[in-house]
Amino acid sequence: MGIRKKGLVAATVMVGFLYGGVASAMEQGHFQMRGPIAAAAGDHEGARVRDELRPMLLAASEDSGGGDFGGVLGLPTEPAERRRLFSFEKGDILLRMRFTDIIPNDSSGAVKITPYGTVAGSKLSVTGATSFEGDVTYMMTQSIGVEVSLESSTHLLKDNGKVANATGQGSNLIGASSMLPLTVTAQYHFLPKAKIHPYVGLVLNYTLFNKEESGLSAVSLSVDNTFGIAGQFGVDVGIHEKWFLNADVKYINMSSTMNLSNPNSGITDKTDLQISPWIIGVGIGTYF
């Protein structure tokens, strides 16, 4: 944290304490206007000024307190009567938005393509991608939640050069496809009352593949939709009343099939496609 930011934080805290002390003194009747201005105004005018200033000073004191520097961060602040320490309760709804890095752990088989058959020594690979993921979690109990998440990413399908050599096309690009994994996760939150909430999850995944494009001439490409299961580990860290930072890791067991169709012969060749990605994400969330 830079010197200027530290100074801003310190000033905010000091102003909060100052306002709180002044407001408290006014509340208890210890604050009185003195000097010629007070004498000219009289006791009635002094009381009116105190009544007008008191709510403003008390509000300023409350908004600068709590130890989370909400005013500095610019995050919304709940009214005092609705505030609670960062904790999850039964019935809470959590909303998160994450920036994700999708890292395929591919181990696919040899590519089969008419009229060349199975290309000896060929091997499919799937490129990684970055994306955004959104999720909604409903807390069924204080510790058990159900999360639904969705994201979209585009991946290239490549081989190791053997298909390019066999077909004479000079490129190892087989094609591309968008991947839309929809996951439903049963989560267990270990420390729902603490400021740091680690959790684990068991995930049911259904992945849609669309916007497929072939990189081979005279051949169309498609990828089968697929079911899979996954594991999840993550942590939520409270930063301001109902706002928190999030880090999340998922591993999805994802097996599919790539189809290469030759419209001239009407033959469709199938190749096993093992993607099984790690999805690593960081983001921010809120709950209500």
Delimit the domains of the chain by residue range: 3-74, 93-287
244: tokens are: 């928190």
In order of 84, 92, 195, 275, the CA distances from 142 in angstroms are 15, 9, 14, 35
- CB 209, CB 193: distance < 8 Å: no
Q: What is the pLDDT of residue 34?
A: 46
User: Quick one: which of 286, 287, 279 has its CA closest to 99?
Assistant: 279
Per residue in 169-227, pLDDT (tens digit) is 778 899 999 999 999 999 999 998 899 999 999 999 999 999 999 998 889 999 999 99
Residue indicated by tokens 């000097």 = 35
- CB 135, CB 148: distance < 8 Å: yes
Query: Residues 6 or more apart from 31 whose CB is under 8 A from it?
Result: 22, 25, 50
Per residue in 54-102, pLDDT (tens digit) is 554 444 444 444 445 455 455 666 665 556 678 889 999 999 999 999 9
Is pLDDT above 60 for 47? Answer: no
Query: Residues 6 or more apart from 10 whose CB is under 8 A from it?
Result: none
Q: Which residue has the higher pLDDT, 45 or 177?
A: 177
User: Quick one: which of 228, 242, 269 has its CA closest to 95?
Assistant: 242
Average pLDDT, the chain: 80
Is pLDDT above 50 for 24? Answer: no
74: tokens are: 């610019």
CA–CA gap between residue 82 and residue 89 (Å, rounded): 14
State in words which class domain 93-287 has: mainly beta
CA atoms within 13 A of residue 56's CA, in its CB half-sphere? 5
What do you get for the CA distance between the two ends of the chain, in Å? Answer: 30
